[in-house]
């Protein structure tokens, strides 16, 4: 997990953040061997609306954390984190989300953090035209 990105969501709606976790360490991760935790810090009035990881998160204020299931060496998982954008957000307003993966004993932590900005945006949908 690394990098930064911008995702949009309409005020009063949800923004979907695509996330990818990968185990490029030296051993398997998970509750039975080396427990790993993913934590998201939400700012700007964003609230947790759901995810597709399949693990029930712990939510405390603006912090959402997951105790991750086992991940074998070189295994990866993709999921979407859904965040509710406040109805009071103005178009163009950005709210920061920082993510951190904590793996006890990880010798390379340089790729264990990511940052997103969620921007309140107008969203339009174009019809699909077919011949």
| pLDDT tens, N- to C-terminus, the chain (131 residues) | 444 589 999 999 999 999 988 877 666 666 666 678 899 999 999 999 999 999 999 999 999 999 987 777 778 889 999 999 999 999 999 999 999 988 777 667 777 889 999 999 987 766 776 67
**Which pLDDT belongs to residue 76?**
83
Count of other CB atoms within 10 angstroms of residue 119: 17
**Which pLDDT belongs to residue 3?**
47
* pTM tops 0.85: no
Domains of the chain: 4-120 (2.60.40.1510)
**Which pLDDT belongs to residue 32?**
61
Q: Are 23 and 71 in contact (CB under 8 A)?
A: yes
Residue by residue, DSSP assigns 6-22 as EEEE-TTSEEEEEEEEE
Give the C-alpha separation, 88 to 28, whole Å. 43
Give the C-alpha separation, 103 to 29, whole Å. 8
By the 10 Å C-beta count (0-12 exposed, 13-18 middle, 19+ buried), 74 is classed as exposed
Q: Where are the alpha helices (DSSP H) in the chain?
A: none
**Which pLDDT belongs to residue 77?**
86
**Which pLDDT belongs to residue 2?**
47
Give the C-alpha separation, 81 to 5, whole Å. 13
């Amino acid at each position: 997990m690394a990098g930064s990105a911008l995702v949009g969501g309409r005020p009063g709606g949800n923004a979907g953040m695509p996330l990818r976790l990968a185990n490029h360490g030296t051993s398997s991760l998970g509750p039975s061997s080396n427990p790993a935790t993913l934590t998201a810090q939400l700012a700007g009035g964003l609230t947790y609306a759901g995810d597709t990881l399949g693990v029930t998160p712990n939510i405390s204020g603006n912090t959402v954390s997951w105790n991750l299931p086992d991940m074998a060496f070189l295994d990866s998982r993709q999921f979407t984190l859904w965040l509710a954008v406040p109805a009071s957000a103005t178009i163009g307003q950005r709210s920061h989300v920082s993510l951190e993966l904590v793996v006890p004993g990880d010798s390379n932590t340089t790729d264990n953090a990511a940052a997103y900005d969620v921007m309140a945006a107008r969203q339009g949908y174009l019809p699909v035209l077919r011949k």
